[in-house]
Amino acid sequence: MYAIPFLDLPPLRSAAGRVRLPGSKSISNRVLLLAGLAAGTTAVHDLLDSDDTRVMLAALETLGCGLRRDGAVLHVTGIGGVLTNQRAKLFLGNAGTAMRPLTAALAMLATLQGGEF
């Protein structure tokens, strides 16, 4: 076997490639909430399918967001920051990744526009 006393590796000038990470409940629900609050339609690719994301999707639909699946892409039509339902009962179960950000968003919107949630 040969002994190598020193190996000099030049620094990379660039890197290219594609990485596909596994889904995350937290990131999926944050993306859904932002898409639901935005104006227009947002295409969400590779959304994690979990209890928490299903609860968030049901809540967004109750709040007036449009949802349409097209294969692996979910199209979310947001409310544009304007509440269409001033009163809604939302069941969030044990979905903390849905409850915490939704509570903050609805508290802000209800303070600015009125509403009970």
* 82 occurs within a structural domain: yes
* 73 occurs within a structural domain: yes
* 13 occurs within a structural domain: no
* 15 occurs within a structural domain: no
pLDDT value at residue 24: 92
Average pLDDT, the chain: 90
* 87 occurs within a structural domain: yes
pLDDT value at residue 19: 63
* 80 occurs within a structural domain: yes
29's tokens:
């629900």
Asked if residue 54 lies in contact with residue 28, where contact means CB atoms within 8 angstroms, the answer is: no
Which domain, by its residues, includes 29? 25-113
Confidence of residue 77 (pLDDT cuts 50, 70, 90): very high
The DSSP secondary-structure symbol of 12 reads P
Whole-model pTM: value is 0.79
**Phi and psi angles of residue 70, each rounded to the nearest 5 degrees, phi first:** -135, 85
Q: pLDDT tens across 51-67, in order?
A: 999 999 999 999 999 99
Nearest to 81 by CA among 45, 49, 110, 117: 110
* 2 occurs within a structural domain: no
* 3 occurs within a structural domain: no
pLDDT value at residue 4: 76
Nearest to 108 by CA among 83, 91, 80: 83
93: domain CATH number is 3.65.10.10
Number of domains in the chain: 1
Does the structure show a pLDDT above 70 at 27?
A: yes
29 exposed, middle or buried (CB, 10 Å; 0-12, 13-18, 19+)? buried
First to last CA, the chain: 72
